Structure 1
Amino acid sequence: MISARQKQRSGDAKRRSQEEEDVHRKHVEAQWEIRKIVAGWIAAIAIPIAIAIGGWLINLALKDRDAQTKYIELSVSILSSEPKPFDDYRAMRKWAVDTLEKYSKVPLPALAKSGLENSLQLTGKGLAAEVGVTLTTLDSRRGPGIPIEMSFENLVTDALRSAFSGAPKADFAIITSNSFRGKRIYSPGVKLTREDFLREMPFSNSVVLLSMSGAQLLDAIQEAANQPGAGGIPQVSGLSVKYSEDKSKIKIESLIVGGDLISPEKKYLVATTSFDAAGHVRKFHDAEQVAHTSTGRHIYDVVLLHMYDERSVSPVIEGRIARLKS
């Protein structure tokens, strides 16, 4: 039989257990209430912040899209304006072309991109715009039976030399003969267009000034004359090249300036293209570039500026490059 004391102990144990359960339940309920309150606080703070951040991101995207649209509009405006053959303006046109491609996500054909960067106008006549007239026959063809000196190239080298007509002044202009791609004849009276010059000179080469000794100049022209891909004897302005030929090997016999042979030791300033100066002909690469007199202008721009100034041109074959009789 269970004694009264045992019953009392059992009752006391049940009461303590019940009290402990009650305390635990109240503790859990209190923690739950605290969590509910904290969750409410977090919700009250975080949701508006999330909404604000989301709204800011959406607004930012809209502003970014609006900014992109503005950039495209600005680029089109620049490219639709009348081109000017100056280095700062050309740099702005290049920025406009790059921006247009970046934000419109439409790649431009290579020829169109080159034209837009240089002088092609998006509206109006564009490439068809006339820049001047030739009063003599211009010939840019090369091949069997075609004289080494070319009248079209004489026009271009004269334009290169005129780009450095101030101080310091270029003594000569030289450009490798493979720089031209048109292979056309322009009859007297033909009105020349931007497209004509872009077709002839499609490369993005700028005009630079080199300091070369007479000996370096002779070596450079000799190297180019027999270098595969250089197109033979370079085209020149302000200089006469006399050469002989034996078994398809060209030898430069003399370089003449104003009726006198060039001095091997004397330094001359030579206008040429960045392509030639960068090492297409190694001897040009060995020359000292006069950096502060680099125009930074595309050769296409330089020739157009020359045409704008002259309005009419009359280059002829005048013996700048002549073969000596054996």
Structure 2
Amino acid sequence: ASKYPWAAINITNADGSPVEGLGGVMVKEVGGLKVALVPVAQDTTPEVANAGDLRFLPTVDTAVAAAEKAREDGADIVVGVVQTDMSNDRKLIASHAFDVILSGDDHSYATAYDGVTAYVETSMDARFLSPVDLTVEIGQDDDGKRTIDWVPAFRFIDTASVTPDPETQAKVDEFQKQLDESLNVEIGTTEVPLDSRRNVVRAEESAMGNVIADAMRAATGAEIGFTNGGGIRADRTYDAGLKLTRRDILTELPFGNVTVMTELPGSQILAALENGVSQVEKGAGRFPQVSGISFAFDASAPAGSRVSEVMVGDQPLDLDKVYTVATNDYMLAGGDGYAALGGGKVIVNAGNGSLMANDVIDYIAATGKVTTGVEGRIRKLGGN
């Protein structure tokens, strides 16, 4: 339904052909200047999302080459419009191929200027915005060659204090009314505090993560429940005594993922846990929230050898034993780097599974309460 153009220079079809309707570098005339917009997507997309058979070329190399080509073609100002993490952002800044970089992906807020490139990272969900104003002077040098000089001015907008646009707010209210009729239905009371904040579900055991993983295990009868913290999205806390609604759960699990079940040997389960904590220092969404299993991890150890003390129920994980594992269809297909969850005998596939959100709603409604908080399923070692 969007009317604006979609663009990314590093996405192609599987055979390398252009994606229909996807634009590339755009050049706009502004105040006598040629401004090139270089749109680039995150090249790890196939690992962290369901990208189908689309190919993603290297983010930094593709972006820098396009920026240099735009400059050669006469662009006065080159702006990178990128969705990539801060490690790539830093490489793009260091390349000095761009005048301005407008970035997303990290869900944090940042501004920077090194005298060559102005940079902003504007948080998430339009909570904070950072418009960049460029004051540009067009002149000429002693040889009569045209010169472009500019300085940036950063502005900060906290949208919590912005008056809503009346037309947009009316449309929001219309949708809200429709949703309220089906979503503001109470399903139970939480007797313990729940926490789904991003920094928690992607780094440590979360009571909300426990509820979700428990529900998946209960729905399938699996020995182990396993979901990715990055799929838990409401980014909030719930006080003990709060009434939970269908809206709460669907806000936590907005992606429409399905609960599936597979059989896997303990060795692959261990590999899955290692993947889950391999990027905890980056706040990666692959961090696991679990049920029926407990473990410790040391984030200071090399990735791939961080996990220890794995228990299934009250027994140590047997690397040769086959266990039933409830997870979501995204992870079963290798999403978030979970290749280790594949290759087993699939008992419940995506076509036969239920929506995770529905499983959680049913699980809470069955007793009308949530009583399980943080209980030591995941323990941090090494002081991290």
Shorter-chain TM-score: what band?
A: 0.5 to 0.7
**Partner Cα distance (2:285, 2:241) in 1:** 29
Q: CA deviation at 1:191?
A: 0.5
**TM-score with structure 2 length normalisation?**
0.49
Change (3 A) 1:143 1:229: closer
The residue number in structure 1 matching 2:17 is none
AA partner of residue 309 (structure 2) = S
The share of aligned pairs that are identical, in percent, is 30
The yes-or-no answer on 1:156 pairing with 2:212 is yes
Q: Which has the larger radius of gyration?
A: 1
Q: Tell me which of 211, 221, 225 is aligned to 2:263.
A: 211
Report Cα offsets for 1:106-159 as digits up to 9, x if no partner.
Answer: xxxxx9xxx9xxxx9968732111111101101101328996000011111111
Q: Is the 8 A contact 1:224 1:232 kept in 2?
A: yes
Unaligned runs of 5+ in 2: 1-171
Change (3 A) 1:303 1:134: same
Higher RCO, 1 vs 2 (CA within 8 Å, ≥6 residues apart):
1
Q: Tell me which of 183, 193, 196 is aligned to 1:137.
A: 193
The residue number in structure 1 matching 2:375 is 318
The residue number in structure 2 matching 1:182 is 234
Q: Is the deviation greater in 185-194 or in 137-146? A: 137-146
The yes-or-no answer on 1:278 pairing with 2:333 is yes
**Partner Cα distance (2:201, 2:243) in 1:** 27
Change (3 A) 1:248 1:179: farther
The residue number in structure 1 matching 2:247 is 195
Q: Tell me which of 162, 171, 175 is aligned to 2:223.
A: 171
More helix by share: 1
The residue number in structure 2 matching 1:289 is 346
**Partner Cα distance (2:269, 2:179) in 1:** 44
Q: Is the deviation greater in 150-159 or in 252-261? A: 252-261
AA partner of residue 256 (structure 2) = S
2:360 counterpart SS class: helix
AA partner of residue 134 (structure 1) = T
**Partner Cα distance (2:202, 2:265) in 1:** 31
Report Cα offsets for 1:204-252 as digits up to 9, x if no partner.
Answer: 1111101000001001111122157752531100110111121685701
Alignment map for 1:1-326 (pairs within 5 Å): 125-143=181-199, 148-165=204-221, 170-227=222-279, 230-246=284-300, 249=303, 251-280=306-335, 281-291=338-348, 295-324=352-381
**Partner Cα distance (2:180, 2:201) in 1:** 40
Unaligned runs of 5+ in 1: 1-110
Cα RMSD over matched residues?
3.0
**Partner Cα distance (1:291, 1:136) in 2:** 31
**Partner Cα distance (1:272, 1:146) in 2:** 17
**TM-score with structure 1 length normalisation?**
0.57
